[in-house]
Amino acid sequence: MTKRPRNVVVLGSTGSIGTQTLDVVERLQAAGVPLRIVGLAAGSNVELLERQIERVEPDVVSVASEAHAERLTARFPSLRVLSGDGGPTNLAAEDDVDVVVNALVGAVGLMPTLAGVSRGRIVALANKESLVVGGGLVRDALKTGGGRLIPIDSEHSAVLQCLEAGRRKDVRRLLLTASGGPFRDTDPSVLGHVTPQDALRHPTWAMGARITIDSATMVNKAFEVIEAHYLFGVSYDEVDVVLHPASIVHSLVEYRDGSILAQLATHDMRIPIQYALTYPDRLATDLPRLDFTSPLAFEFRPLDPARYPAFATMMSAARVGGSAPAALNAADEALVRRFLRGEIPFLGIARGLAVILERWHAEMGSDGDDASDLGELLAADRWARRMAQDLALV
């Protein structure tokens, strides 16, 4: 009997990770790997989504607006079209889905992750906020639902690979690498005057707007520390961040005997995407490889907390626990949007996060365990968005 293809849905299909996922799937299909994309979810880029529908012929798609849904239904009469905020979650819960690639950006990714893992699916996770906002909920859903998380982020994919070489009990710490963003060598005295265009010029990776700004503030790296905490069951004291401008070493794992294992690759996200889709197998690829006939830079630097105050604030929220990480994620989304619109200065993002955390302690907070109530997390999210939107930050 022929084995049926592994059915995949791609959430955030028109974004950077989503478009690269489609490329990876097509490469794997050409190599004889039995994969089929049965669902796509996108936001407002309906023109690109239409081209993707023609390309992969899914059974069902999801879009944000009813108007876009009507447009797709008229053009593709046999296609099932979902719309609204719940569309990605419904896609993740579709019958016969084996793998959910969650490439959504922001807190909207949490519910689809929960839907996937609670139904025993593999969730290939590029949505950091699933674990930043609701790490405790996802952990519980994994236990009861039998699903599995496989990281797509290059740093966590690297850690996963390095952990395959040793025993978890022998791990001393995880070392996540960071490029340092576009301002790693900029005089801090001028950071108050940088523009959104300056902040969007990431030195090594091509990413979406929010994650690029989060890389400049290092909020993104704090998110990755939180992810590592939940993905690998380590304490925050067992995760360190080091700057590695070349972005060749994607992460390292130090074992208790002093041995340090590193995962190296070109900065091409299709490599960790493929690993997530084929894990634990490694399949041949014609993607770019490191060239050891030319000099390679292996410089590492300590993270300077004075240059990246938002990182320290986000890590304080992580250690506090409760709904604090959810609140600060929501605040960051709002503050980044305000910065991109020219409403606040770059340094206003870090100042705003610090104010929100202080007010969270005063108005909402109770230090302690992970928040296990979805309503509490959503309330903190709404509260922080309103607060961040109204802050005067000049």
Q: State residue 361's pLDDT score.
A: 93
Count of C-beta atoms within a 10 Å radius of residue 94: 19
**What average pLDDT score do residues 3-12 get?**
91
Domains in the chain, start-ordered, CATH in brackets? 6-151 (3.40.50.720), 154-180+218-303 (no CATH), 305-394 (1.10.1740.10)
Report percent pLDDT > 90 for the chain. Answer: 88
Q: How far apart are the first and last CA of the chain?
A: 66
Cβ pair 46, 73 in contact under 8 A: no
Place of tokens 């989503």: 18
Return the closest-CA partner of residue 298 out of 244, 242, 240, 250. Answer: 244
**What average pLDDT score do residues 316-333 get?**
95
Average pLDDT, the chain: 94
Helix 46-56 / helix 16-30 crossing angle, nearest 10 deg: 10
Q: Report whether pLDDT(236) > 50.
A: yes
Q: State residue 1's pLDDT score.
A: 34
Residue 311 contacts by C-beta under 8 Å, 6 or more apart in sequence?
217, 218, 219, 221, 222, 241, 303, 305
Q: If pLDDT is split at 50, 70 and 90, which confidence band does 202 have?
A: confident
Residue 197's φ and ψ, nearest 5 degrees, are: -60, -40
Residues composing the chain:
394
Q: State residue 207's pLDDT score.
A: 75
